[in-house]
Chain A
Amino acid sequence: MKLIFLLTALVTVGSAIATVSARKILHAALWLVLTLLGVAVLFALLEASFFAVVQVLVYIGAISILIIFAVMLSRSSLVDEGSQTHRRWWAVAIVLLAVVIAWVAALSLWPNWSTVSAALPAGAGDLATLGKQLVDPNGYLLPFELSSILLVAALVGAIYTAVEKKAGQA
């Protein structure tokens, strides 16, 4: 179990680094897909299966495709020339390493550092419970309806921008 988690975490972090340091934007987009897949596997390891598949469905199925479309839409050069690292990258690395070590040391002084959190009560991660909470007036009904308005706002804004751009370019 720990081995699988370690492997997944390494793949996720590695592809995230590859995303920001890739030379061609297209390769960066594909490394991003691998990162998102890694996150989905992490969700699955935490037994949140619904979120694992929704992560793949929405992030990889819609957002990554949108990113690739947006990359193709921009007419700038698709290849990043020049060095990918700052000239004094070793100085930055040392500073960051010091910060991380100090941070972890400070956290390990926290009394609850080694306690494992209690397991969820049975049925708490159930999707039906989430569904009932979403439409419960005492639960999350208002955020539920507001999220639909937020989605429509995003849709309207994006279409206003895109269609206006079409008329401007015609």
Chain B
Amino acid sequence: MLNDWLYLGIFLVLALTIPALAIWLAGLLSPKKSDPIKNSIYECGPEPVGESRIQFKVQYYVYGLIFLVFDVETVLLFPWAVAYKQLAMYAVLEAVLFIAILAGGLLYAWREGALEWH
């Protein structure tokens, strides 16, 4: 198994360095005429006003939170899914109970309006 990870490590290092090399190469080939107007931030024409921070919606955070809960739920279900073929019916029903409790959580979120995008 460690051989697998060694291969993946080499692969990931290569997958990171080949684009980096390409970008560096293109950096050599391209002109570099820096200009304050060119370097200014793009805001559809006029000069940018104010700090570059935006009114951050709470909605992003709520979506991230619900995603986290469901992600952890599915991670807990992965071992069950791998062992599925060797399990009896009651084990499947226990996992159904697990999923049902979490579906209840989703229903609560729905009713509370946490899933609306304002």
Interface residues, chain A, with chain B CB atoms under 8 Å away = 1, 41, 44-45, 47, 49-50, 52, 54, 57-58, 61-63, 65-66, 69-70, 72-73, 78, 127-132, 134-136, 141, 144-145, 147-149, 151-152, 154-156, 158-160, 162-163, 165-166
Question: What is the CB-to-nearest-CB distance from B5 to chain A, in angstroms, rounded to a whole number?
Answer: 5
Query: How many inter-chain residue pairs (CB < 8 Å) link A and B?
Result: 135
Known: A58-B75, A128-B86, A155-B105. A162 touches B65 (CB 8 A): yes
Give Cα distance in the complex from A50 to B1, angstroms.
12
Closest A residue to B60 by CB, please name it.
A69
Give Cα distance in the complex from A144 to B76, angstroms.
8
Give Cα distance in the complex from A127 to B97, angstroms.
21
Question: What is the CB-to-nearest-CB distance from B60 to chain A, in angstroms, rounded to a whole number?
Answer: 5
The range of chain B's interface size is 35 or more
Listed A/B pairs (17) with beta-carbon separation below 8 Å:
A54-B75, A62-B71, A70-B61, A73-B56, A128-B83, A132-B91, A134-B76, A134-B83, A135-B95, A141-B94, A151-B72, A151-B73, A152-B69, A155-B65, A155-B66, A159-B112, A162-B62
